[in-house]
A and B are shown apart, each in its own frame.
Chain A
Amino acid sequence: MASVAGAITLGPAEVSLVNIRDVLLNHLGLTDVPVRAVKEAIVWEERLPRALTAAACGAGLGLCGAVLQALLHNPLADPFLLGISSGASTGAVVIGVLGLGGSVLGLSGGAFVGALVAFGLVLLLAGLSGGGTDRVILAGVAGTQFFAALTSFAIFAFADADETRGVMFWLLGSLEGVRWDDVLLCGVVVLVGGAWALRQSHALDAFAFGDDVADSLGIPVRRTRLVLLGVTALITATLVSIAGSIGFVGLVLPHAARFLVGPRHARLLPATVLIGAVFMVWVDAVSRVAFQPTPLPVGVGTALVGVPAFVLILLRRRRVA
């Protein structure tokens, strides 16, 4: 909450914390303090939805990363492992560059459909090849490469310079121009998905020693994995379709959270969600103002800010161990 408020004050137009409080309370119908219309618009129509979407993205991507790392026994798993981001980019490119069905779906809709198509194909391939965790990962790598190539091919063959730049910017992740309905969608998806994952936190713990141990602890391994993979895919596809593929958060923040609260998912998942939300709000705020008036793609910002932060944690952790 404090981070969201703090981040809103950053930006080319000056907005104070008092302004934010007044705008919020006015909208909740609790007060009727006069606020200048420009500031009102900046806070309510622009910065607040943007900060909340950033928080949802950070929370959701972190959550998905933590879940996938447990399910696939792989510390390098991230939300984009299963072809979701490259499928989304293919979908967006098909809409944005080729103009197929653009009026109905829009860039976001195309990305969402592309992400789910890619995820479905990856799961199908993984299932056909035996269904073990290594097969899921290999199928994901293959799917990711294939859809990335499709995207590049479509851009190379059909796009002009402007379209290319637009798609590239979107691919790197951007929270430009998010609206309240985006906030609502992201928020609901992340909350529902997060609650679901949290209910399964003991099952995620059971995966620590592999499928056989999980099975002997009474976890229906294949069903649990399939359902949770589906939940993470839906969350990720939603977030990607709204904000593009924001890297780093889903891969590294779960590790940061693990350093802080340990590996038990009942604590790890909420911690990852919280760290992810706060982290993204600040990275997005910094990305907005760092190179004014040109915004930095937030996906670039996450890695630029996040890697040094992660290195610090690693070094501190080494001294403790």
Chain B
Amino acid sequence: MTLHADRVRWNRGGALVVDGVTLTPRPGATVGLLGPNGSGKSSLLRLLSGTARPDDGTVTLDGTDLRALSRRSVARTVAVVGQHTHTDVDIRVRDVVRLGRIPHRGPLGSRPATDAAAVDAALAATGMTDKADRFWHSLSGGEQQRAHIARALAQEPRELLMDEPTNHLDIRHQLELLELVQRLPVTTVVALHDLNLAAAYCDEVVVMAAGRAVAAGPPAQVLTPELIGEVYGVRATVLVGEDGVPTVVLRPAAVSAPA
């Protein structure tokens, strides 16, 4: 069992941002959410994390409706890395990562040894160990992003929800991050803009347009020139490598393809 969305709809301030989406990630799989801006990727992630509640349909964790679970028990299983999360607080990286231990506090407080081990492991996994004592504001955008991911890993989640985590990362760190996510023994749902990253690292992709899931399946089946043209309004050529991983080459719609 896992985190599961069943025909969820969300009417957000008069706009139907998620319209009847069903999502059932396989345990341990990496699922990419694709689609243009405003297609409902972030909104779907908010429904999955329980930060927002669907108007219709249900999100369940191991078969239990999220609404019936306390926020804390959800947070012990589901971790979230969102977009645009900044702070005015003068906080060190290690303390940011340590926030991930909050849901694991017992009634008598925290367990320092377990917490420290989880924090160290999360820092190591994201390559942030040598920056643990730096102040948040002294980090680059990419390092801040990695610190957030370390914070999510310190939560020791079984399900990881990420909203465009490769934003602000240079290409090497984009690849490293997704390799890390793929390697982790967690189920990951990750919103991505880059179709090639999705093709290379996701076991499955779900393509969204106007709040609906218009296609789902392995990247090699889903990412066709027809679908990309329909959803994004651009021309694309899809090359399939020897390893079966598709590569998408984009061309502007207005320019005709060479004969």
A220 engages B71 (CB within 8 Å): yes
Q: When chains A and B are docked, how far (Å) is the Cα of A263 from the Cα of B89?
A: 7
B88 and A213 contact, CB distance less than 8 A: no
Contact with B along A206-223 (1 / 0, CB 8 A): 101110110111111000
B112 to chain A, nearest CB (A): 12
Task: Answer whether residue B95 sits at the interface, using C-beta atoms and an 8 A cutoff.
Answer: yes
- B102 lies within 8 A of A202 (CB): yes
Q: Which of B49, B50, B95, B105 contacts A264 (CB 8 A)?
A: B95
B131 contacts the other chain (CB 8 A): no
Q: Does A205 contact B (CB under 8 A)?
A: yes
Q: Which of A75, A212, A262, A264 contacts B88 (CB 8 A)?
A: A75
Query: Bound state CA distance, A263 and B76, in angstroms?
Result: 24
Indicate whether A262 sits within 8 Å of B95 (C-beta atoms), given known contacts A216-B79, A218-B76.
yes
Q: A215-B51, A216-B80, A217-B155 are contacts. A210–B74 as well, Cβ < 8 Å?
A: no
For A74, A220, A264, which residue has the most chain B Cβ atoms within 10 angstroms? A264
Smallest CB separation, A294 vs chain B (Å): 41
B85 interface hit (Cβ, 8 Å): yes
B90 to nearest A CB, angstroms?
6
B40: chain A residues within 8 A (beta carbon): none
- CB neighbours (8 Å) of A210 from chain B are 85-87
Q: Are B102 and A206 in contact (CB under 8 A)?
A: yes
Determine if A73 is an interface residue (Cβ-Cβ < 8 Å): yes
The distance in angstroms between the C-alpha atoms of A276 and B120, with both chains bound, is 35
Known: A216-B79, A217-B103, A218-B102. A208 touches B89 (CB 8 A): yes
Please give, as numbers and ranges, the residues of chain A lying within 8 Å of B78 by CB-CB distance.
Answer: 216
What is the interface residue range for chain B against chain A?
Answer: 20 to 34
Total A-B contacts with CB atoms under 8 angstroms apart: 75
Interface 0/1 of A50-93, CB less than 8 Å to B: 00000000000000000000000111000000000000000000
Interface residues of B in 66-123 (CB under 8 A from A): 70-76, 78-80, 82, 85-92, 95-96, 99-100, 102-103, 105, 110
Interface size class of A (residues with CB under 8 A): 20 to 34
Q: Which residues of B contact A219 (CB under 8 A)?
A: 71-72, 102
Q: Is the CB of B102 within 8 A of A213?
A: no
| Contact for B85 among A205, A212, A263, CB less than 8 A | A212
Distance between Cα atoms of A205 and B95 in the complex (Å):
9
Nearest B-chain residue to A321, judged by Cβ: B135
Determine whether the beta carbon of B105 is less than 8 Å from that of A202: yes
**A213 vs B71: C-alpha distance when bound (angstroms):** 12
CB distance from A172 to the nearest CB of B (A): 30
Residue of B nearest to A205 (CB): B99
From A73, A213, A218, B72 is in contact (CB under 8 Å) with A218
Interface residues in B50-74 (C-beta closer than 8 Å to A): 50-51, 70-74
Contacts of B74 in A (CB 8 A): 218
Known: A216-B51, A218-B71, A264-B95. A258 touches B102 (CB 8 A): no
Asked if A258 and B90 make an inter-chain contact with CB atoms under 8 angstroms apart, the answer reads yes
* CB-contacts of A250-278 with B (<8 A): 258, 262-264
Say yes or no: A212-B75 contact (C-beta < 8 A), given A206-B99, A218-B70. Answer: no
Taking CB as reference atom, which chain A residue is nearest B137? Answer: A321
Candidates A74, A217, A263; contact of B90 at CB < 8 Å? A263
Q: Chain A's nearest CB lies how many Å from the CB of B255?
A: 40
Question: B82 and A213: CB pair below 8 A?
Answer: yes
Which A residue sits closest to B75, measured CB to CB?
Answer: A218
A-side contacts of B50, CB under 8 Å: 215
Whole-angstrom CA separation of A161 from B49 in the bound complex:
61
Closest Cβ of chain B to A94, distance in Å, is: 38
Are A212 and B86 in touch, CB under 8 angstroms? no
Q: Is the CB of B100 within 8 A of A217?
A: yes
Q: Could you say which residues of chain A place their CB within 8 Å of the CB of B71?
A: 215, 218-220
Contact of B87 among A202, A208, A215, A216 (CB under 8 A): A208
Of the A-B pairs whose beta carbons lie under 8 Å apart in the complex, a sample of 18, sorted by A's number, is: A73-B87, A206-B102, A210-B85, A215-B49, A215-B50, A215-B71, A216-B49, A217-B75, A217-B103, A218-B70, A218-B74, A218-B75, A219-B71, A219-B102, A220-B71, A262-B91, A263-B89, A264-B95
A positions within 8 Å CB-CB of B? 73-75, 202-203, 205-206, 208-210, 212-213, 215-220, 258, 262-264
Q: Which 10 A-B pairs have the closest CB atoms?
A: A218-B75, A218-B72, A216-B80, A218-B103, A209-B85, A208-B89, A217-B102, A218-B71, A263-B89, A208-B87
Binding site for A on B (CB under 8 A): 49-51, 70-76, 78-80, 82, 85-92, 95-96, 99-100, 102-103, 105, 110, 155
